[in-house]
Structure 1
Amino acid sequence: MRRPLRAAGCFSPLRCRAAAAAPIRAQAPSGTVSIGIIGAGNIGGTLARLWTRAGHRVMLSSRHPNRLRGLAAELGPLASVGTPAETAAFGDAVLVV
């Protein structure tokens, strides 16, 4: 017997109801997305570079935020640096690397 809820990652009815009730933020009308990147090393930095080139706003965070200021300056006005909490709150999508 197939269990579509389990295939979708819902292993208990309470968890499925909570997921279904969670609010979904609408995407900005311009098609851009605010993306938080927690752990902006090689992988996170590369993705930040690609996403800013595509016109998306990114906020970078790591254990050493001062080291990210140069990368944010290189990426331009669409990039900023914040604490992990600020980065998580900033993003329509959040990547943890």
Structure 2
Amino acid sequence: MGRFAPYANSGCGASSASWRESVSTRFARIRHGKPHHYWADTREAADLLGVTGKRVRQLIRTDLLPAVQATNGRWYFRRAQLEVVAQRP
């Protein structure tokens, strides 16, 4: 089992509409390029996971990485979840 597999079909991924809708309005206060204590953008996620931004988006599409898409089209991730995934072998 890879480090991304535990999130497959967990109800926390990009297809989890209820989670996505519940946080979508919170992103209006996040300033692009400035670190946030709870959320990370695609670039920060790629850095934390040691992969490319393209790979991060691929993991989102396959529901292996939980993410939410803001109305501006950017993807955001819970920083704590990324840290857990990054520590998996």
Given the two structures, how large is their TM-score scaled by the length of structure 2? 0.31
Which is greater in Rg? Answer: 1
Structure with the larger strand share:
1
